[in-house]
Structure 1
Amino acid sequence: MNDTPDETSNTSKNDSYAAGLPMGIAVGIAIGTALGIALDNLAIGLGLGLAIGAGLGAAFMGWGASKKKDG
């Protein structure tokens, strides 16, 4: 028998956990770009979007960590 652990099942869980922050930042930048265009001030919109995205990414990572503990 092979005593090495099956890493394929853990890889997808770790990848989805690690993708939380970049995914949140991408969504935030998209929201910020829309806000910046609507407010006619792209710099402020991108700054707000980056802040919103970092918050969303942290929330996604926290959600992924709690989901990882449960199962």
Structure 2
Amino acid sequence: MKVRDHKNNENSKDGSYVGVGIAIGVALGAALKNIPIGIALGVAVGSAMDGSRNRSSRKKK
């Protein structure tokens, strides 16, 4: 059985911005007293940031 090394694997960070976006969205949602909208905005922003990071890393290869 082969053990994968995640330290050098760029794909191991996939979705990390989505988590950050959700955390920020929850904080904004709590401040605005509308958590579901905050979560939705956080997921959208995090996904956009993650997608742009993946696109730029593909161009470098």
TM-score range, shorter chain: 0.7 to 0.9
Cα distance between partner residues in 1 of 2:49 and 2:39: 15
- Between Structure 1 and Structure 2, how many residues are aligned? 55
TM-score by length of 1: 0.66
Task: Tell me if the contact between 1:30 and 1:49 (Cα under 8 Å) persists in the aligned partners.
Answer: yes
- Residue in 2 aligned with 1:33? 26
SS at match of 2:42: helix
TM-score by length of 2: 0.75
Does residue 46 of structure 1 match 2:39? Answer: yes
Which structure ranks higher in relative contact order (CA pairs < 8 Å, sequence separation ≥ 6)? 1
The ranges of structure 1 where at least 4 consecutive aligned residues each deviate by more than 2 angstroms after the TM superposition are none
Shift of 1:38: 1.1
Higher alpha-carbon Rg: 1
Kindly, what percent of the aligned residue pairs are identical?
Answer: 36
Please tell me the root mean square deviation across aligned C-alpha atoms, in Å: 1.8
Cα distance between partner residues in 2 of 1:60 and 1:31: 18
SS at match of 1:30: helix
